[in-house]
Structure 1
């Protein structure tokens, strides 16, 4: 897989175009702002967009959906608990396939009820569940610290240390990281009880 990581908008978001190298079939993850940049990458590389995938329903990750649908004719994929308009729903353990590539869906609620991470080919697209050096906030509607604790420690903590992490925002010291590095250096990922985590998150 080739990953195009595109900084977009006023909230330091990342949009992604993930390309299957064998077929040029691709997916867009979280289109929001700067859509012309996405269009340019698609055109310059002659990519065929199979799906538009949202890591969760917040506006800063979905506001470009309709425009990209109009441009690419690709259907929108979201978690089954999303409240937004979509064409295909996925649940934990499903795979999103494009060309000869596939990404596994991990349901990781906490930042929002419908938050997902996508894992495959040595990569994880972590949305707003986990950032470089931090995690997604829980004080927005649908946020839940207890759910985030279980997403971080029951799901993400058990993943391969070598997975390269592509977050939903550029909030850290680097644009990408690895799960292993986050386990070592991210304060949020240090082992603690659920109650200690809830106290820390306020």
Structure 2
């Protein structure tokens, strides 16, 4: 699986184009702004887009959906709790296949109710659940520090340390990291009880 990590817009968002090398089938994760950059990447590499996958419903991760559908004729995939228009509703543990590549859906609420991470080929696309050096905010509608605690420590913390982390925004010291490095260096992932985490996040 080849990863094209594209920084777009003025909020340091990442849009991802993932290519299955054998078949040239691909998926686009979180299209928002600078769609000409995304489309140029698709065209330059002669890719056939099968799906658009949103890691959550916030506008800065979904605003490019309709335009991408118009250009690629692909289907929009979102978690089953999303309130936005989509073609296929996905759930925890489900497998998304394109070509000979595969992504596993992990439901990670906290930043939003419908937040998911996508894991495949030694990589994790974490949306706004986990950033390099930080985590997503919990003060927007549907946000929950308690849910984020369990997503971070009961799920992501237990994943393979070698998984390469590709976040939803370029907010850290580097555009990508690993789960193992984040466990060592990310202050959000330092061991805490749930109550300590709620206090740390300034939430009840």
TM over 0.5: yes
* Number of equivalences: 202
In structure 1, the residue matched to 2:125 is 125
What SS class does the counterpart of residue 46 from structure 2 fall into?
Answer: coil
What is the RMSD of the two structures over their aligned residues, measured on CA atoms? 0.3
In structure 1, the residue matched to 2:173 is 173
In structure 2, the residue matched to 1:55 is 55
Structure 2 unaligned spans of 5+: none
Q: Say whether residues 1:85 and 2:80 are aligned partners.
A: no
Q: Matched residues in 1 for 2:39 and 2:85: separation?
A: 22
The 5-angstrom pairing of residues 7-156 of structure 1 reads 7-156=7-156
Q: Matched residues in 1 for 2:55 and 2:63: separation?
A: 13
What per-residue deviation string (whole Å, max 9, x for no partner) do you get for residues 100-154 of structure 1? 0000000000000000000010000000000000000000010000000000000
Q: Matched residues in 1 for 2:12 and 2:62: separation?
A: 14
Structure 1 unaligned spans of 5+: none
Q: TM-score of the superposition, structure 2-length normalised?
A: 0.99
Instruction: Name segments (4+ residues, structure 1) moved above 3 Å.
Output: none
Q: TM-score of the superposition, structure 1-length normalised?
A: 1.00
Q: Matched residues in 1 for 2:48 and 2:201: separation?
A: 42
What SS class does the counterpart of residue 7 from structure 1 fall into?
Answer: strand
What per-residue deviation string (whole Å, max 9, x for no partner) do you get for residues 63-95 of structure 1? 000000000000000000000000001100001
Q: Matched residues in 2 for 1:170 and 1:37: separation?
A: 17
